[in-house]
Amino acid sequence: MNQPVTPSMNEQHSTHERCDTLIIGAGPAGLAAALAAAPSGAAITIVDDNPQPGGQIWRDGPQVVLPALAQQHRAALARHTNIRLLPGTRVVGLGDFQPSDKAPTLLLEDADRGWTQHSHRIILCTGARELLLPFPGWTLPGVTGAGALQALIKVGLDVRGQRIVIAGTGPLLLAAAATATQAGATVVRVAEQAPWSALAGFAMQLPRWPTKAVQALSLLNTRWRANSHVLEVQGTTQVQAVRLRKGPHTEETIACDRVACGFGLVPNTHLGQMLGCALGGPLSGGQGLAVDALMRTSVPGVFAAGEATGFGGSERALVQGAMAGHAAAGQVQQA
Ligand SMILES: Cc1cc2nc3c(=O)[nH]c(=O)nc-3n(C[C@H](O)[C@H](O)[C@H](O)COP(=O)(O)OP(=O)(O)OC[C@H]3O[C@@H](n4cnc5c(N)ncnc54)[C@H](O)[C@@H]3O)c2cc1C
């Protein structure tokens, strides 16, 4: 059961709590893990540092209409009384291991308190973050990550009427451009630094995943240019323009109010590494947490799923999360 270790203590103020399965991260992977493990009857605690579950792709906020799949996951979560969701909660360190623990003990905190969380299993669903590389002017107000701009818009940033340049590399640029356009901004350029040859290779793979191909087509943007690099953001107290290099010899300067840059994703492995988990996720160039076929990491009792193990989008995160949830519940066949 989800309960304080010392029963006489008020749960709100207890300093030690215990559950069967502790899931870190309530994105697609964490939600799928919780829902897969729930029918076993295990006491599940799922924590996330955001105010609402959903992770990156299903981030909730005043400007968001959640997709049906996200709503279904949230509704299913609420139906399981053995799942305890703790939003606004993060892991801040390692606690003292007790003999009854089968997994490492973690220190958690929310806005009001801190406590030690004991568990038999931990599932790390900590996702990924975007890589932002520096360039002249990158600290000016108005420069953000591409995914960060998307997240800010979802939680209420008003970009109506603003001119935005989105730059860097990867599919997230197009997703960010679509979000900004829907929110009333004018996306004046999507500058993809990869050359056409690399993009053609990527496009050739898309028919293998029809859903992704349809999604890519729906995100196509007439302002998108390949082989286009950010050289400098100009402005004194705020972004006023961005200078881009087009091909080997040509430059262009575009007046704008915001520049949103992302250079791909990096798996969030700090927590896993703190626990001693080995790296080696193959879809992340070896930077993700290494897992076996049952999503077990190299540390006993610790599983990992989703983008913390490598990249592949929400579909892969959902499948891996479900596998980890079943495996953590001892349901090897289902996993
Ligand atoms: C900025 C950004 C924007 C993205 N936007 C899109 C998009 O529009 N479309 C798309 O297809 N893909 C997008 N992605 C890719 C996206 O990460 C995956 O498609 C999908 O969300 C991965 O699911 P996940 O459950 O593995 O991780 P995530 O959805 O990233 O969920 C991980 C969760 O764990 C939480 N967390 C991490 N560490 C801790 C900790 N120590 N304590 C508590 N909580 C913690 C995070 O806050 C997060 O809520 C985006 C990625 C990023 C980084």
Amino acid at 129: R
Mean per-residue pLDDT over the chain, rounded: 90
pLDDT at 2: 55
- In this structure, what token pair is assigned to residue 310? 């490598």
Residue nearest to atom 30 of ligand 1 (CA): 127
Q: How much is the average pLDDT of 71-96?
A: 94
Q: How much is the average pLDDT of 34-59?
A: 96
User: CA-CA-CA-CA torsion for 160, 164, 169, 175, nearest 10 degrees?
Assistant: 20
Q: How much is the average pLDDT of 215-220?
A: 64
By percentage, how much of the chain surpasses pLDDT 70? 90
pLDDT at 198: 73
pLDDT at 249: 86
For ligand 1, mutation pick of 24, 31, 35, 56 (most atoms within 8 Å of CB): 56
Q: How much is the average pLDDT of 184-199?
A: 88
Binning pLDDT at 50, 70 and 90, where does residue 283 land? confident
Binning pLDDT at 50, 70 and 90, where does residue 159 land? very high
Q: How much is the average pLDDT of 2-29?
A: 74
Binning pLDDT at 50, 70 and 90, where does residue 32 land? very high
Measured in angstroms, how far is the CA atom of residue 149 from the centroid of ligand 1?
A: 14
Binning pLDDT at 50, 70 and 90, where does residue 212 land? low
Q: How much is the average pLDDT of 214-240?
A: 85
Q: How much is the average pLDDT of 101-129?
A: 94
Cα–Cα distance for residue pair 106/123, rounded to 1 Å: 12
Asked if residue 43 has pLDDT above 70, the reply is yes
Ligand 1, pocket residues at CB < 6 Å: 24-30, 47-50, 55-57, 90-91, 125-130, 147, 150-151, 172, 175, 265, 268, 271, 306-307, 313-314, 317
In the block, tokens 């630094």 appear at: 193
The pairing of beta strand 288-289 with beta strand 279-281: antiparallel
Q: How much is the average pLDDT of 180-208?
A: 83
Q: How much is the average pLDDT of 323-334?
A: 96
pLDDT at 205: 72
Binning pLDDT at 50, 70 and 90, where does residue 66 land? very high
The pairing of beta strand 241-246 with beta strand 250-255: antiparallel
Cα–Cα distance for residue pair 323/326, rounded to 1 Å: 5
pLDDT at 25: 98
Q: What is the DSSP letter of 39?
A: G
Q: Do residues 190 and 174 touch, judged by C-beta distance below 8 A?
A: yes
Binning pLDDT at 50, 70 and 90, where does residue 6 land? very low
Asked if residue 12 has pLDDT above 60, the reply is no
DSSP 230-281: EEEEE-SSS--EEEEEETTTEEEEEE-SEEEEEE-EEE--HHHHHTTPPEEE
Gyration radius of the chain over CA positions: 21
Q: How much is the average pLDDT of 256-276?
A: 96
Binning pLDDT at 50, 70 and 90, where does residue 202 land? low
For ligand 1, mutation pick of 24, 57, 174, 261 (most atoms within 8 Å of CB): 57
DSSP 132-195: ----TTTTSTTEEEHHHHHHHHHTT---TT-EEEEEEESTHHHHHHHHHHHTT-EEEEEEE-S-
Q: What is the DSSP letter of 333?
A: T
Q: How much is the average pLDDT of 146-161?
A: 95
Binning pLDDT at 50, 70 and 90, where does residue 219 land? low
Interior CA angle at 135 toward 147 and 188, to 5°?
A: 55
In the beta sheet, which residues pair with residue 44?
Answer: 21, 83
- In this structure, what token pair is assigned to residue 335? 């996993």
Interior CA angle at 151 toward 149 and 156, to 5°?
A: 95
Asked if residue 52 has pLDDT above 60, the reply is yes
Q: How much is the average pLDDT of 141-167?
A: 96
Asked if residue 193 has pLDDT above 80, the reply is yes
Q: What is the DSSP letter of 57?
A: T
Q: Which atom of ligand 1 is nearest to the CA of 320?
A: 26
Measured in angstroms, how far is the CA atom of residue 26 from the centroid of ligand 1?
A: 9
Q: How much is the average pLDDT of 239-268?
A: 94
By percentage, how much of the chain surpasses pLDDT 90? 75
Measured in angstroms, how far is the CA atom of residue 206 from the centroid of ligand 1?
A: 22
Binning pLDDT at 50, 70 and 90, where does residue 10 land? very low
The pairing of beta strand 241-246 with beta strand 228-234: antiparallel
3-class DSSP state for residue 224? strand
